Structure 1
């Protein structure tokens, strides 16, 4: 297909017309793509490009990142074979730092070696490439789509994150290295603020009063808990935006430790009257630098406060964790539990998707972001066979690789 400058490629995939690169100026578009794609990447480290397209983005990246090894992966074998025999291949064939692969032709060992120790920041996804993924790579497509969405969110919030980081570090709060295995082998409940939290509050009060299970709460769930006489053992806040302010306003948690992500909204953090501990996150350059300087651990975030809290709990020594209020869906058409600052009706919201419900009997409404968190939890459990992970939400979405147990059964099991 001709453009105003150089030719590009137009194909039909799943009855949908796809044009790789701009219809006007593919070269300029490729340069813009590279500039945006490298904003979060680690300079000088290996890079992976997902998708051959017409190759202009590969050529542009090779020139800018000439000190990095660049691996290009194509998931559509038919397109890969066509590309290798097309004139577009001639433009990148002799580039010194480029390796092209058909993913289907790679051995398991080769795939593992490509992705070994590679951070998602250095996986650069050419968006239209996902549109031609064969059905057998649906799970890989979902994973890559989640990386795309998280990167976009990260870039949109990068200024506020940096501003919060700089302010939070000046608080001079301790990190978490002295908390390593503090709750070793003690069962924990990770309490989120999904709609199903409402029905769990009476039993959570009983569990708290018994004192045998450690309760960790996300900030949004704090007020519903306190209203029912439940003070969590610790709280976590991660969001860099001022929307978190209501979570700790007019709340007395002076005896409860607050763990907060280094980029969390500073004005919310300083509201807390008790002990505070800064959590440095994997994947954020400033936090990684500070962790190395202070000899602090890095915690995986997963994109949400609950996913971050899970990894923190494991660091704190938990080997048994139950999820409560972790709906990951809009149970009964609601976004959050009663009494939270954010509860809303969701039936008319755009972009709803469907997921299998907790009881595996029907499809229920969710959102793309919530599905991303669900997939993260599923992958986390898949690679943590040594942990006992339970979904005790009793509502919301089914989470693959987690054991689904009622909160009452969980409580009986861990006593």
Structure 2
């Protein structure tokens, strides 16, 4: 590894040449502009009463700015590359951090086994921030961990790009003074449930789903995108959820009139879409958004794990409500037969397959199916959720799409028989 200090028009940056690859740990032109934006977005969503974990030393500028902005919080910094860590603590960049009392620099390899195992679980997801240098310099021996970090980084970048919308929606949604789901728990405790998503395989399940709805023995919850395909088959769910903070969700409920169905919406969901529903509305507060967590505590409401998608959010909601069992329908997590969504869903389109398309095991585990990065993250979340809640009865009845580890894979008609 060759480490070179490069001058810019503001402060020096660091160039690393490793395995024939050149990496700049900060901007080659204006490192501080990059840092200010990075820190500003982080401070907006983090919890102010918990410690902070930063992945990646870089040149230390980002660390110093966070430490100064959060003087009452401890800032722990993990570097995975031993060689770079040893160079850094002897460099000029270390000096500006050494006087900061709330900063602690750590080399991952020098942590104990227990410390490594507890590393991420010791922090709220909002208080973990991954710097590009932390990913660029991670050694090959940490590839499994790198995959986890990439997923977390992807989710954080998504939040960073939407932070202003999240805050605006939260402010407007809370002004509605809608109640939370706290009072509903006894209404659904012990009920078998179906979670209907809008994946391509939903289309073939609609006839049976209609029968199940008419029998009334199973509670049906749906994501917003699945509403229009379900209504075309005369299926009105017991409740449905929206979570996306963007205006695009409006088309999910335009010309939809189902006052008999309850609307569950995340506190940061697009507020104009929330207003379209003429029936009962319930606001949900989510883990990972500081203002939502504070408000939930004040109102004695539960916190929902989002998992990054409306379906994962709805699953955790169902479990909190006390579902006896949950069956997934239309949760393809893949582009089954080259389709993005079920017929009639507002986002439905044909997906052009490319040579570098990501592929995973299909539902029957007898072949592969095309998918994407974000769908893979949701699938991993569902797999981990089932692993961590081994006492739950969780079934994948999608009958298409991707295989979801740790879930029971059975046809929908068998789930219908099981719960009788």
**Is TM-score (shorter-chain normalized) higher than 0.5?**
yes
Q: CA deviation at 1:56?
A: 3.3
Could you tell me whether the CA contact under 8 Å between 1:44 and 1:65 is conserved in 2? no
Say which of 142, 154, 164 aligns to 1:159.
Answer: 164
- Of stretches 299-308 and 108-117 in structure 1, the one that deviates more from structure 2 is 108-117
- Distance in 1 separating the partners of 2:164 and 2:66: 25
Shift of 1:316: 0.8
Q: Which residue of 1 aligns with 2:7?
A: 3
Check 1:60–1:378 CA distance in 2 against 1; reply closer, same or farther (3 A cut). same
1:386 and 2:391 correspond: yes
8 Å contact 2:201–2:398 — kept in the other structure? yes
Aligned pairs for 1:131-142 (under 5 A) are 131-142=136-147
1:69 and 2:69 equivalent? no
In structure 2, the partner of 1:306 is 311
Q: C-alpha separation between the residues in 2 aligned to 1:14 and 1:327? A: 39
Aligned equivalents of 2:193 and 2:92: distance in 1? Answer: 59
Q: Deviations over 1:370-413 (max 9, x none)?
A: 22222222222221122122222122222222222222333333
> Alpha-carbon deviations, 1:343-363, whole Å to 9, x = none?
011216899533332233333
Residue equivalent to 1:403? 408
How far apart are the structure 1 equivalents of 2:162 and 2:34?
A: 24
Displacement of 1:48 in angstroms is 0.6
User: 1:238 maps to which residue?
Assistant: 243
Tell me by how many angstroms 1:27 deviates.
5.1
User: 1:293-335: per-residue Cα shift (whole Å, max 9, x none)?
Assistant: 2221121212211111011001110142111111111111111
Out of 276, 285, 301, which is 1:280 matched to?
285
For residues 370-381 of structure 1, the aligned pairs below 5 Å read 370-381=375-386
For 1:204 and 1:28, locate their aligned partners in 2 and report how far apart those are by CA, in whole Å: 53
Matches within 5 A, 1:44-123: 45-84=50-89, 88-111=93-116, 114-123=119-128
Q: Deviations over 1:129-170 (max 9, x none)?
A: 212323443343233323333333323333333333333333
- 2:286 counterpart SS class: coil
SS at the partner of 1:280? strand
Q: 1:99 to 1:319 in 2, by over 3 A?
A: farther
2: CA distance, partners of 1:61 / 1:159? 20
1:317 corresponds in structure 2 to 322
Deviates more, 1:21-30 or 1:363-372: 21-30
Matches within 5 A, 1:248-287: 248-287=253-292
Q: Is 1:337 the equivalent of 2:370?
A: no
SS at match of 2:313: helix
Q: CA separation in 1, counterparts of 2:69 and 2:241?
A: 40
Change (3 A) 1:350 1:160: farther
Which of 295, 298, 305 is residue 293 of structure 1 equivalent to?
Answer: 298
Deviations 1:210-238 (A, max 9, x none): 32222111111112112223221211111
- Secondary structure of 1:21 counterpart: coil
TM-score of the superposed pair, with normalisation by structure 1: 0.90
Q: 1:156–1:228: structure 2 CA closer, same or farther, 3 Å change rule?
A: same
The alignment's C-alpha RMSD in Å is: 2.6
Aligned to 2:44: 39
Rounded Cα–Cα distance in structure 2 between residues aligned with 1:313 and 1:66? 39
**Cα distance change, pair 118–395 in 1 and its aligned pair in 2 (3 A):** same
Residue 184 (str. 1) matches residue 201 (str. 2): no
Are residues 199 and 114 of structure 1, via their aligned partners in 2, closer, same or farther at CA, if it must alter by over 3 Å? same
SS in 1 for 2:345: coil
